[in-house]
Amino acid sequence: MTATGFVGDLRQRATALSDIRRTAYAVLFGDRLGLIVFLATVVLFGLVWRTAFLITDSYTLANGLYSLSNGHVALTDAVYGPGLETPGANRYGGQRFARNYGVIVLSLPVVFALDLLTAVVELRIALVALWSLALLAFVVQCGHYTDNEWVSVGGSVVVLGLFGLNVALAQPLDAGRTHLYALQLTHLLIAAFTPVVLYRLFSRMRTRRLGFLSAVVLTAGTPLAFWASVPKRHVVTGTVVVCIAYCLYRSRMPTDGSLITQRRTFRALAYALVGLYAWVHAPEALLLCVAVVVVDVPTAQDNSPRTLARIGVVFALSLLPFIVTNIAISGSPIKPPRVISRSGSIGGDIAGSASGDGGGGSGSGGGISRTLLAPLFTLIERGMQPLVLLSGELIRGLDTIQQQPNDVYHAFVRSGNASGALDIAGEESVNLSLLESAPVLVAMVGALPVLRRLRLPSSMGDRVLGADRVVDAFAVTAFVGVVLLYAGRLPLHAQVTARYVFPLYPLGVYLVMRLPAVRESLTNHWRVFLWTVTGTVLIGGQLALIFVALTVNGIGEAFQLHALLGLTIAVPLGSWAVIGRSEGMAGQTGAVLLGAATGVTTVFLLLTSIEYYALGDSHLLPMMRALAELVTLY
Amino acid sequence: MEQTRAVITGVTSVMLAVTLLSGPLVPSVTLASEPEPVALETGNVTVSAVEMPDTVTLEAGSYGAASYYLNAPPIHVQFSNRTGRPTLVYELTIEELGYSRTTNHFLDESTGDAYELTLASDTFTDAEIQREQYNGTVTVSKRDDAGHGVVATRNVTISVIE
C-alpha cells in the first residue's frame, strides 16, 4: 500500500511531467486502443523473436552499429559474420561502410542501454522481464478498456506465471552480441507502429472498430511479424508508408491534436518522413517522394509559392542526416552508401546514356550560352540523375511485366516449382509469392467493380480531393510504384515472403479495408471474423502441424504446403470480393473468408518461427525455445 | 481498484526483483545457466543385430516444391551390451553425386535394447538429379571408449521417383 501511495504522490506532484506523458501518449498511440494494439504487437513480435541472423545482409548492419558505437563511421572489425565483405557493405576510398545508417543511429541508444543492463543483470532475464512487463501492460490496459478488474488481476497472475516459467527455463544470452539485439529491438519497435498507425488512420476515417480490425488483418494476416525482428529495411518502409498516408489524411482534415495545430504541418511532415527515410534506403525514399509529390501537389487546396517553399525547407532539413552521412562516406551529398541498382550495370547504363543525351542537347544551344550555362546544366543534370535512374528502373519494370509474365506470376501469385523462383544458394522452394504470403490481399480484386462505378474528376476545378481520396490515391500510386521498381529485378532471390515488395503488405491491407464490401462485412460481423481467425489458428494450426509432420520432408515442401493452403483460401475470398456483396449471409461469408485468410498466414508465421526458421532454436523467450526443441516435424 | 493496483504493483516488483537477482550484484544466485555439458563417446556398445535398409529413394518434392528429397529408411539395431554414452553414426554416401551425409545418434541410459537410427532429410536440385538410379553405400559406425569402428556396411540402390 505504501508503494502505491508513493506512486500516487509522485503523480500528483509532477503535473508537468504528466502533461508531457499525456502528449507523448496521444502523439504515439492516439488513444487507449492504439496503445493496446501497440502492446499486443510488441508481445507477439517478442514471441517470435529469434536472437540470430536470418539474412547475411544483417551482418553488415550489426558490424556498422558496432563500429559506430565505438566512434567509427567506417567498418572496423568483423565482429559478426565471416568478414567485412558481407552483402550490402560498400567500399569507398579503401574503407568499407555499412548502409541503412538511419536505423543504425537509432539503435545506438539501445545498444548503450543493453550494455548497461548487461553490467547489472543477466541479459536474458532482463529481456524476459521487459517482455513480461509489456504483456502486463497489455493485460492492464485491456482491463481498463473493458472496465473489468478481473481481467487485470487474472492477467497479472498469468503474466507472473509465464515470467516464472521463462526464468525456470532460461539459459544465458550471449552478452557480446548486443549490437544484433539492439538492431532487432529497434526494428521490432518500428514495426509495431505499422498496425498502430493503420489503426489510427482508419479510426479517424471510419470507426475505431474498423481501425482495430485493420490492425488485426495487418498483424496476423501478413508476414509483418516474420520480418519485425530482422534487421533489414523492410519493416521500416512499411511503417513509413503508413505514416505518410496518415499525415496526408490529417493534412486534409481540421486539426484537433495537442501538439500539431495546423494542417499544413502534417503536409510538411509527410515530406519530412520521406526525407528521413532516405537515410535508411534512398532509392525507395525517392520512389515514395515521387508518389507523395504526384498525389499531394495536384490535389491540395493551397499551392502558393509560400506554402511550397515552406514544405521544401522542411524536406531539405529532413534530408540533412542523409546528406551529412553521404558526405562523410562518399564525399557526394546525393550518393548514398548503396547505388540505386544493386547489380549496378543497368542502372549505370541508364545514367551514362542520360548524361550523353544531356550533353547533346546543350551542344545544339550554341557556343557562348553553353559555356555560361554549363555549371548550371551540370547541377541540374546531377540533381536529375536519381530521377532518371528511378524512371529507368520503373520502365524496366514495365518491360519485365510485358515480356516476362511468367516471372511476374511466380512473384505475385504462385511460386511453386519454378526453378527461377528458387534461391540461388539454397535450392529449396522457400520463396513464397506475395499472394501465398498474405492470401488476404486477394480481396483487392474487389476494387474492380468499385472502379467501374468510380467517377473521375471532370474538370480542373474538381482536382482538390477529400482526405479519403488523397490517401487512396497515394496508396495506389505507391503500390504501383513498388511493383514496378522491383518487377525489373524478377525473378527475385532469397525472398522468403516477397520481402522486397514488403510495403505492398500494409498498402494492400489499407486498400482491402477501403473496399465497401470488406468494410461492411467486417464491421457488421466482427465477432465472426475474430472467431474465425482464432479458430483457424487454434484448430487449423494443429491440423497443419499434423499434416506437415506426416507428409513433409523438408522446409521447401512445408512452405509450398502453406502456399497451397493460402491459395485455396484466396480463391473463394477473391470470388466473394469480386461479387462485392455484404448484406446478410454474404457479409457473414466474407467475414469468415477474411478471417480464414488471416488465420492461415498466422499459422504459417508461427510454424516458421518455431520450426522452419528456428535459427538454431535461438528464441529470445526460453518457453518458445523449449517449444521449438520439443517440436520436430521433419 | 486498490486491490487490483496492489496486485499489479506486486507482480511488477517481483519481476524487477528477480531480474536484479540474476545479475552480478547477487553473485550467489544463478538464474540462467547453460545446460550441463555431457561427455559423449564414452562407455561401450556392442551391436548384436543390424537391419539395413533395402531401398533409398530420391523423391520429387510434393506440393509443387522444386527439389528432390532424400528419403532413407531407418536402420534398426539391437544391442547386447550398452553402457555410458556411446555414439552411433548413420552414413550414406553417393559417390556418383559426390555426396555424403551423416547423422549422429547419442545414446544414453534411457536407450533400451533396440534403437532406430535415422538419417536427417536432405534435398537436391532438379539440375543435380540426371539419372533414374544411383549407387550408394550405407554405413553404421560406433564411437565409444574403444574408439571408432564400423559396425555394418551395405551397398544400396537409390532410385529416383518422379
| Model confidence pLDDT, tens digit, residues A484-524 | 999 888 777 678 888 999 999 999 999 999 999 999 999 99
Q: State which residues form the domain around A603.
A: 515-613
Q: How many angstroms from the chain centroid is the CA of residue A388?
A: 26
Three cell numbers, residue A36: 493496446
Q: Which residues of B touch A634 (CB under 8 A)?
A: 121
Label residue A190 by pLDDT band (50, 70, 90).
Answer: very high
Average pLDDT over residues A317-339: 82
- Contact residues, A window 7-26, toward B, CB-based 8 Å cutoff: 7
Average pLDDT over every residue of B131-153: 91
Could you give the percent of chain B with pLDDT greater than 70? 99
Residue that is last in its domain, among A211, A234, A257: A257
Q: Does residue A556 sit at the B interface (CB-CB below 8 Å)?
A: yes
Residue A371 binned pLDDT confidence (cut-offs 50, 70, 90): low
Hey, what's the cell of A453? 462505378
Element (H, E) at A598: helix A584-607
pLDDT at residue A457 in the model: 62
A264 assigned to some structural domain: no
Chain A residues inside the 8 Å CB shell of B61: 417, 429, 553-554, 556-557, 560
Q: Who among B12, B20, B123 is closest to A554 (CB)?
A: B123
CB-CB under 8 Å, B24 with A120 = yes
**Spatial separation of the C-alpha atoms in residues A255 and A249, rounded to whole Å:** 11
Residues of B in contact with A1 (CB under 8 A): 2, 6
Task: Give the pLDDT of residue A138.
Answer: 97
Task: Report how far residue A269's alpha carbon sits from residue A314's, in angstroms, rounded to the nearest whole number.
Answer: 8
Testing the interface with B: which of A121, A138, A146, A419 to mutate, by most B Cβ within 10 A?
A121
On whether the CB atoms of residues A435 and A441 are closer than 8 A, the answer is yes
Q: A120, B33: Cβ pair inside 8 Å? A: no
Q: Which of B2, B3, B9, B12 to mutate to test the interface with A (most CBs of A within 10 A)?
A: B12
Q: What's the structural domain count of chain A?
A: 2
Cβ(A441)–Cβ(A508) under 8 Å? yes
Which pLDDT score is estimated for A349?
Answer: 27
| Average pLDDT score over residue span A18-31 | 89
Predicted pLDDT at A361 = 31
* pLDDT reading at A368 higher than 80: no
A418 shares contact with chain B (CB less than 8 Å):
yes
Is B18 within 8 Å of A418 when comparing Cβ atoms? no
Beta partners for residue B87, in sequence order? B106, B143
Most confident of A88-92, A340-344, A475-479, B154-158: A475-479
Judged against a pLDDT cut of 50, whether residue A367 lies above it is answered with no
Q: How far apart are CA A185 and CA A229, in angstroms?
A: 7
> Does the distance separating the beta carbons of A136 and B34 come in below 8 Å?
no
A152, B11: Cβ pair inside 8 Å? no
Structural domain contains residue A348 = no
CA distance A124 to chain B (A): 8
> Hey, what's the cell of A83?
568478414
In what order do the strands lie in the sheet containing B99-106? B99-106, B87-94, B133-144, B147-161, B55-60, B68-71, B122-124
Q: Compare A197 and B71 and report the one with higher pLDDT.
A: A197
A551: cell is 507428409
* Residue A203 confidence (pLDDT) above 70: yes
Q: Determine if residue B27 is left, alpha or beta; phi over 0 gives left, psi from -120 to 50 gives alpha, anything else beta.
A: alpha
Cell numbers linked to A316: 531539405
Q: Which of A34-38, A258-262, A351-355, A577-581 has the lowest mean pLDDT?
A: A351-355
Closest by Cβ to A554, choosing from B11, B19, B121: B121
CB nearest to A152's CB, from B8, B66, B124: B8
Q: What is the average pLDDT across A301-312?
A: 93
Q: Give me the sheet containing B44-51, strands edge to edge.
A: B44-51, B75-83, B114-117
Residue A528 neighbours by CB under 8 Å, 6+ apart? A588, A591, A592, A595
Smallest Cβ–Cβ distance between B126 and the set A3, A122, A419 belongs to A419
Using the beta-carbon criterion (under 8 Å), do B63 and A634 form an inter-chain contact?
no
Q: Which of A468, A628, A417, A595 is nearest to A521 (CA)?
A: A595
Given this model, what pLDDT does residue A460 score?
Answer: 59
Give the pairing of strands B147-161 and B55-60: parallel
The whole-number pLDDT of residue A370 equals 55
**Yes or no, beta carbons of B121 and A136 under 8 Å apart:** no
Say if A122 is an interface residue toward chain B (CB within 8 Å).
yes
Q: What is the mean pLDDT of chain A?
A: 87
pLDDT for res A461: 59
CA distance linking residue A85 with residue A47, whole number of Å: 32
Secondary structure of residue A57 in the 3-state scheme: helix
Among the ranges given (A8-22, A460-474, A597-611), the one the predictor scored with the smallest mean pLDDT = A8-22
The mean-pLDDT minimum among A63-67, A221-225, A251-255, A314-318 falls in A251-255
**Residue at A233: amino acid letter:** R
b/e for A252-271, b at 16 or more Cβ within 10 A? beeeeeeebeebbbbbbbbb
Measured between CA atoms, the residue of chain B closest to residue A124 is B32
The answer to the question of residue A504 being in a domain is: no
Q: What is the DSSP string of B126-145?
A: TTT--SSEEEEEEEEEEEET
pLDDT at residue number A358: 30
Is A541 part of any domain?
A: yes
Cell matching residue A510 = 489499407
Q: Which residue of A has its CA nearest to B122?
A: A554
Q: Is A158 on the interface with B (CB under 8 A)?
A: no
Q: Give A50's DSSP letter.
A: B
pLDDT band with cut points at 50, 70 and 90 for residue A378: confident
Domain annotation covers residue A343: no
Tell me the pLDDT tens digit for each residue of A562-571.
999 999 999 9
**How far apart are the C-alpha atoms of A131 and A123, rounded to whole Å?**
12
Decide if A551 touches B, using CB distance below 8 A.
yes
The answer to whether the bond into A457 is cis (omega within 30° of 0) is no
Size of interface A-B (CB pairs under 8 A): 149
From A192-206, A453-467, A526-540, the region with the lowest mean pLDDT? A453-467
The reply to whether A594 falls in a domain is: yes
pLDDT band at residue A356, thresholds of 50, 70 and 90?
very low
Q: In Å, how far is B21's CA from the nearest CA of chain A?
A: 7
**How many other C-beta atoms lie within 10 A of the C-beta of residue A600?**
29
**Single residue among A257, A279, A302 that ends a domain in this structure:** A257
Q: Is the pLDDT of residue A256 over 70?
A: yes
Q: Which of residues 377-416 of A touch B (CB under 8 A)?
A: 414, 416
Residue-wise pLDDT for A53-97, tens only, equals 998 889 999 999 999 999 999 999 999 998 888 888 888 888 899
Residue A456 has a pLDDT of 66
Residue A133 lies in a domain: yes
Q: Considering CB atoms only, which of B1, B20, B34 is closest to A121?
A: B20
| More confident position, A365 or A208 | A208
Cβ density class B41-80: b for 16+ within 10 Å, e for less: bebebebeeeebbeebebbbbebbbbbbbbbbbebebebe
Residue B84: burial class (beta carbons within 10 Å; 0-12, 13-18, 19+): middle
A77 lies in some domain: yes
